[in-house]
Amino acid sequence: MKKKKSNYLNRELSWLDFNQRVLDQASLKRTPLLERLKFLAISASNLDEFVMVRMGGLKLVRRRGSSKPDIAGLTAAQQLTRIGKRMREMYDTQIRCLHQLEQELQNNGIIRLRPEDLSEAQRDFLGRQFETELSAAAAPLAVENSYGFPMLSGTRLCLCVKLKSDSEKSWGPRQQAPPDNPPHVPQDDHDNHPEDSSVRYALVPLGRSLQRIWSVPSSESFSYMYLEEVFGMFLSEMFGGQEILEWAPFRVTRNGDVELDEDSRSDLMIDMQEMLTARETSQCVRLEISASASDSLTRFLCGAVEITADDVYAIDGPLALKDLFAISGMKGFNHLKDLPWPPQPVPEMNPPGEIFEKIAAEDRLLIHPYQSYDPVVDFVRAAATDSQVIAIKQTLYRTSENSAIASALERAALDGKHVTCIVELKARFDEARNIQWAKRLELAGVDVIYGIQGLKTHAKVCIVVRKETGGIRRYVHFGTGNYNESTAKLYSDISLFTCDEQLGMDAIHFFNAITGLSVPQTLGKLSAAPINLRETLLEMIAIEIENQQKEGSGLIIAKLNSLVDKEIIDALYSASQAGVEVRLNIRGICCLLPQKKGLSDNITVVSVVDRLLEHARVFYFRHGGDDRVFMSSADWMGRNLDRRVELLVPVEQDHAKGRLIRILNAYFDDNTNASVLGDDGVYRAVEEKKKKKRQFRSQEMLYKEAHQIYRAHSDPRTTVFEPIRKPEL
């Protein structure tokens, strides 16, 4: 009997499809060469995080013996099998892409050198570098057997060295005794056993302070070697001339999905610090090793890190391709990079000393990084120094290392203002930085809240309470992105500044409920997860179904990072079956299957991958002609709707609504960097025959629009003004 196909797509495989779309950018000839190299590095960095979090979590589920299927009907074991196959294909594609890029880079004066390519002068130079710097930054670790293997931190590049054993000429620290139940290590009769007394092993963890891409003097514009190959040339010097039988680079990846038991203790700060330590020593979930490594060396490492052959990835090329950021971002070679898109100034928010008057005049909508992020920083800085400001309330999810926003909050508290800050300590991979900022803000006198037990505070809001002549006024910034000045240059996000009375009251009630660990009072305009955000979305979808049945006017357009939640997907399926047109622009994971006859005929899903990371969440509902537009911090995933503190913010002023609707539509007109999801679950680039004669690139349009807005405000004489019309849908 033929198994019925699922109406849903698997979350993990959908994410890998997204990463493939990122990797595909590295092969596009129209993209500048160093930008293509950057996309290759991004795909490798993405894959590292995926393995740490998603594969790590699935392995925990499998180990517990759970056979519960996911939304697509796959168990954890089945998902891991498919993920492994897909990842091996992706590694192969990455290496093929790298080889092609290296050839093109060489043609443009960026030369990768191998040991056999070096001149005598270059070899002498590297020898001196190794003696004076490299050998001092790394130390070999003798390993008597796999049971005495040192604890290696995740994703750190290391060398495994097999040496000919000579007990009379070698000495070293004693290793710990084997455990009572040593891990099973598969053996092949035709090869040396890892415990063979004729060989011994040593490790060389490469120092994190050392750059991976090592510049080599050359007559060419830029020549380089990979760090591991430089070490390989001089390994014998590290081992006193002992015979080296072979060496190979490798990396282990550890489970980053370490669970936090928030019920065990009341001190979340201590719990988080212990969790960070646990992540460094968690189970190994992936072993990457050079394909040149022998079976015996690979088996030795498998036994040492307690991993099976299913989780070994032999790579026929360099490991850790994320380190290619060093080349793609190096100075010079501007002809091989994108033309700069400097963030456009926002004259209507200047000067910073009048920022509150500007917001009071009307709501201000900004699209970053096309428009500068400076007004967000200026907003908090102005609040910190303004004598009329009596309180600042802000959430911080991910911050930059030298955060100007956090520093402004610190200054405000030191100046005697009442400052309350929710610092989310559980923001994955930013925990350590957030802990540091939380401690620093507390020392300055900020009332720091670490979020809510069992939930992550993911909402992006800053509230400034100002005592003015007419009474108390609340100024609010809502965002779709983090308060992080660094990522604000790379992520496409939205800011809304408002002093709308109801939104201000809602924001205060929402914030006070978090800090007071209570249920917020009734919200007039905002919706919040996990309270009523899901219900609001379902209600808006239901209204579109009703309007479609009454007058045939149903329309939903949504821009998201991920769509996973089954209840929301089913509601969209129902809308499609009722005849509602549904347009979804989903950057990454999509578990909804569009264009399926009788189920989702009226649903279109596009994904745009371009030079900036699409990060904003924007939703449009026609609502019988009374357009409803929202911005949000939340994707349509169970974790966002049920296990995080999120906000859904209505955008109500006509000029702001119109701009967001234009932006939503632009992504469906993109015929340059858009892919369309088919009813077979496969993404395909926009077909050539469907392309317009004129290329249209949505991100380029947004940048040009930001430039036009700047010109219109800075020099009205040079701009032809057009009346604002309701956007076409």
Which residues make beta-bridge pairs with 216? Answer: 223
Closest CA to 619 of 548, 532, 559: 559
- C-alpha 409/C-alpha 392 separation (Å) is 8
Alpha-carbon dihedral angle through residues 372, 376, 380, 385, given to the nearest 10 degrees: 40
Phi, psi of 402 (to 5 degrees): -110, 60
| Crossing angle between the packed helical segments 33-50 and 11-24, to the nearest 10 degrees | 160
Element (H, E) at 200: strand 199-205
Reading the block at residue 544, the tokens are 């579109």
Those residues with Cβ within 8 angstroms of residue 723's Cβ, 6 or more apart along the chain or in another chain: none
Could you give the maximum distance between any two Cα atoms of the chain, in Å? 91
CA atoms 696, 699, 705, 711: torsion sign: negative
Of the listed 458, 477, 509, 615, which one is catalytic?
458
- C-alpha 257/C-alpha 275 separation (Å) is 10
- Active site annotation includes 368: no
Cβ neighbours of 392 (radius 10 Å): 24
Reading the block at residue 424, the tokens are 């989310």
Reading the block at residue 135, the tokens are 């050998």
- C-alpha 295/C-alpha 303 separation (Å) is 12
Buried b (16+ CB within 10 A) or exposed e, 536-569: bbeebbebbbebbeeeeebbbbbbbbbbbbeebb
- C-alpha 19/C-alpha 589 separation (Å) is 10
- C-alpha 613/C-alpha 399 separation (Å) is 17
Q: Annotated catalytic sites, by residue?
A: 458
